[in-house]
A = this chain, B = another copy of it.
Amino acid sequence: MNGLLRPNKIAVVGASATPGKIGYTVVKNLLEGGYQGKIYPVNPSATEILGLKVYPSIRDIPEDIDAAIITIPAKAVLPTVDELGAKGAKGMIVITSGFSEVGLKELERELVEKANSYGIRVLGPNIVGVLSNSDKMNGSFAPFLPLEGKASLVSQSGALLIAIDAASYIRRVGFDKLISIGNMSDVDFADLITWLNEDPNTSCISLYIEGFRDGRRFIEAARNANKPIIALKAGVSAHGAAAAASHTGSLAGAAKVYGAAFQQAGVVQATDLNDLFNRTLSLSLQPPMKGDNLLVITNGGGVGVLATDAAEKSGVPLKFAPADVQAELKKHMPEFGSAKNPVDLTGMAGTEWYQASIRFAFAHPWVDGLVVLYCETAMTDPLEIAKGIKKAIVDSGVTDKPVTVSFVGGERSEEAMRWLVENGIPAYGAPDLAVNAIAALREYARMKEIVREEAMPCLAQDRERALKIINKARSEGRDSLTEIEAKEVFECYGLPVTPTRLARNEDEAVALAREIGYPVVMKIVSPDILHKSDAGGVRVNIKDDAGVREAFKTIMKNAKEYKATANIHGIAVQEMAPWGTEVILGSVNDPTFGPTMMFGLGGIFVEVLKDVTFRVAPVTSSQALRMLDEIRGAPIIAGVRGEAPRDRQALADVICQYSTMILDLADEVSESDANPVLVYESGKGLKVVDARIILKKK
């Protein structure tokens, strides 16, 4: 990867002497960027390009090379691999388009296979290239290196990368590297995250994502990184819900599953392009915010109120500062100022008051993060205020807390903000942006606290038995399990299902009912009857033997009337679970992330409000607890209307075990639901009352 991304010797295969051609632009950009390594233009029909000697073929290059930038037509790329291999190349930056994006998947696959056989990694194809400020390398057809900075950006859109390159100067967001990832035939987001995490010139990894090939590799790489990662996922609305056989399947949209994966990977999300710029700036310049106590210092009530609103919206609501903090701050403002939070120094505030209050507040142990706001006034000089802020931060001696700044004003404020950013302090043109930017540092810290936790392996686990049940159904030509079978599979993974047994006649039903204990529930068991209630195939609260016999007859009769040709296995006799809070668990096999868990409250919460949340399996205990908190109906689990709290821990444990199950059976299970699951009060656990497993088509 170093050979690919920080090469000392580069061949430009397809270098051209004709201005306007990409092969010319790349050579010109390398030269203009100030690249210090060696450049070997390769072109059979030219002798000199921009003062550089041109080699008719790769073979003719007089020494080994690290990487090649490829700009020749798609069909000519494959033959170059042997030659590059012979020259010891480690990387190919394939700008050329016309591979899998136009349907030529096989050509792309061959290219990667052959390259990898020589130990060559392939970036692209169909990319803009690689730009690096610290290596003064513009190995791309983007016109110049971006504004210098500490973030590195990986973009799946080439056009956007070029636009961001230019915009970096306008937005004051500096980058060390811009990497165009294109078709991701070989090097993908996971590879680049792992590599950038080791890159000494990168402090924050910024991603523009349209889609992954392998979501699990991404999660793994991101979890292991110790630099902040921020992602803008585009295309969250375009994802048409696939035809789904389960409840869970119909609810698993791209936005929710990607959002879950980012949570689990510890990746901060950006909501839009400006948010990506703004949050990249704070994440690249400032340390994580380790607690929830955000202090806002301002010279204007209006922007203070806007910051208060933004803090609440961003998940770091302002609290009043403690009395001692207020008392000290009161010394640096006029009588009518406010030392609460926001701290309003008033429009009379000059550099000195800003400095004194920042120096004190930033060093105070109560303060976890600081936002400084300034409204441009005629009486003060923004640049002087900016310098004062910086000096106070330095004087405070604190380096492990974040600060962000917003100046609202004209050109003088813009200049002051440019100075601040150049001096390591993120500065924004609106108070809510400064608050949102520091909130990103808080989100990052919160996620990192729990993201490293390893998932517990499920203890009770009987894969062999589960496969036997599944294979039996397959052997009968079915791709879904009956409720009884699904519950047996659940049992193999220790999930607390209500005892449910199959009766083939009245006498068996009575015997089973006595064994399970009255009252019982009885349900039709037939792979041909999916909607049991609609078929009159369910009876509840059956209290004695006579009731069982009557129910057996009635259900059988109803089922036959409903569907004369149905293959009926018999009737399930099952424990009548006591009333509890209805929740739903479920799984899908997401095309990107594989086995993925869903949790939600039952009834209208899931049916009307679609109030559900997802995690990619396996789910750790703290992630499972987070799932319980992030649905809108969370208070129900906490206990409402004087009810005792529900058994959160048992529910979280079952989510973990369920997630282990779907991971273990990833090759077999396509979708599943446990619906309803009844959750009892703390300490009393829960019961899976109904179960459903859809198998993968084989």
A residues apposed to B, CB below 8 Å: 20, 25, 102, 141-143, 155-160, 162-171, 208, 210, 232, 234-238, 272-274, 299-303, 305-306, 308-313, 317, 336, 347, 375-379, 408-414, 429-433, 604, 607-609, 632-633, 635-636, 640-641
Contact of A273 among B408, B413, B641 (CB under 8 A): B408
Chain B nearest Cβ from A398, distance in angstroms: 28
- Verify B160–A300 contact, CB threshold 8 A: yes
The residue that A210 contacts in the complex, of B160, B302, B375, B608, with Cβ under 8 A, is: B302
- Residues in B with CB closer than 8 Å to A303 are 157, 159-160, 163, 273
Contacts of A635 in B (CB 8 A): 608
Q: Which of B170, B273, B410 contacts A166 (CB 8 A)?
A: B410
Given known A411-B169, A604-B640, contact A375–B159 (CB-CB < 8 A): yes
Asked whether B408 lies within 8 Å of A163 as measured between CB atoms, the reply is yes
Question: Inside 8 A of A311's CB, which chain B residues have their CB?
Answer: 237
Is the Cβ of B429 less than 8 Å from the Cβ of A170? yes
Residue contact A607 to B640, C-beta cutoff 8 Å? yes
> Are A163 and B300 in contact (CB-based, < 8 A)?
yes
Chain B: CB-nearest residue to A157? B302
Report the minimal beta-carbon distance from A584 to chain B, rounded to whole angstroms.
15
Query: Given A308-B235, A409-B167, are A25 and B378 also a contact pair (CB < 8 Å)?
Result: yes
Can you give 15 A-B contacts (C-beta < 8 A)? A160-B375, A162-B409, A163-B303, A163-B408, A166-B409, A167-B376, A167-B413, A236-B309, A238-B305, A272-B306, A272-B310, A273-B306, A274-B433, A607-B640, A608-B635
**A63, B141: Cα distance in complex, Å:** 71
CA distance A168 to B432 in the complex (A): 18
Docked Cα-Cα span, A142 to B432, in Å, equals: 24
| Given A162-B376, A167-B410, A378-B162, A234 contacting B299 (CB threshold 8 A) | no
Give Cα A272–Cα B435 distance, bound, in whole angstroms: 12
Chain B residues near A376 (CB, 8 Å)?
162-163, 166-167
Contact at A159–B301, with CB atoms within 8 Å? yes
A302 & B377 in contact (Cβ 8 Å cutoff) = no
Q: Chain B residues near A412 (CB, 8 Å)?
A: 166
- A633 is contacted by which of B274, B317, B604 (Cβ under 8 Å)? B604
Residue numbers in B under 8 Å from A306 (CB-CB): 232, 234, 272-273
Least CB separation from A634: chain B residue: B608
- Using CB atoms, name the residue of chain B closest to A313: B237
Choose from B164, B302, B640 the contact partner of A208 (Cβ within 8 Å): B302
Which chain B residues border A235 with CB–CB below 8 Å? Answer: 305, 308-309
Contact call A413/B336, Cβ cutoff below 8 A: no
Chain B residues with CB under 8 Å of A408's CB are 160, 163-164, 167, 273
The 7 closest A-B pairs by CB, nearest first: A166-B410, A157-B302, A159-B300, A163-B408, A237-B312, A160-B302, A234-B305
Nearest CB of B to A429, in Å: 7
What is the distance, in angstroms, from A203's C-beta to the closest C-beta of chain B? 23
Please, which residue of chain B has its CB at the minimum distance from the CB of A25? Answer: B378
Q: Known interface pairs A273-B408, A432-B272, A607-B640. Does A162 touch B25 (Cβ–Cβ under 8 Å)? A: no
Residues of B within 8 A of A308 (CB): 235, 237-238
List the B residue with the shortest CB-CB distance to A276.
B430
A7 and B237 CA atoms in complex are apart in Å by 53
**Separation of A362 and B608 alpha carbons in the complex (Å):** 39
Q: How far is the CB of A450 from chain B (nearest CB, A)?
A: 26
Q: Which residue of B lies closest to A433 (CB)?
A: B274
Task: Give the chain B neighbours of A347 by CB distance below 8 A.
Answer: 158-159
Do A166 and B411 have beta carbons less than 8 Å apart? yes
In the bound complex, how far is the Cα of B633 from the Cα of A300, in angstroms?
40
A321 to chain B, nearest CB (A): 16
A355 to B57, CA, bound (A): 43
Cα A433 to Cα B274 with chains together (Å): 9
List, in ascending order, chain B residues with CB within 8 A of A168's CB.
410
A471 and B309 alpha carbons, distance in the complex (Å): 43
Q: Which residues of B are found within 8 Å of A160, using beta-carbon distances?
A: 300, 302-303, 375, 408
Closest CB of chain B to A307's CB: distance in Å?
10
Q: Check A141/B309 contact, CB under 8 A, given A273-B408, A302-B157.
A: no
Within the complex, the shortest CB–CB distance from A543 to chain B, in Å, comes to: 23
How far apart are A465's CB and chain B's nearest CB, in angstroms?
36
Considering the complex, give the chain B residue whose CB is closest to the CB of A303: B160
A67 to chain B: closest CB distance in Å? 22
Q: Which of B20, B166, B430, B633 sits near A413, CB closer than 8 Å?
A: B166
Shortest CB-to-CB span from A588 to chain B, Å, is: 22
Q: Which residue of B lies closest to A305 (CB)?
A: B234
Is A163 in contact with B636, judged by CB distance below 8 angstroms?
no
Among the listed B102, B375, B641, which residue makes an inter-chain contact with A607, where contact means beta carbons less than 8 Å apart?
A: B641
Residue of B155, B379, B411 touching A170 (CB-CB under 8 A): B411
How far, in whole Å, are A379 and B24 apart by their CA atoms in the complex?
Answer: 13
A20 and chain B: residue at smallest CB distance: B379
A540 to B120, CA, bound (A): 79
Give Cα A347 to B302, complex, Å.
Answer: 43
Establish whether residues A162 and B633, one from each chain, have CB atoms under 8 Å apart when the complex forms.
no
Contacts of A608 in B (CB 8 A): 632-633, 635-636, 640
Tell me the smallest distance from the CB of A12 to a CB of chain B, in Å.
17
Residues of B near A143 (CB, < 8 A) are: 378
Contacts of A414 in B (CB 8 A): 170
Cα distance A377–B431 in the bound complex, in angstroms: 32
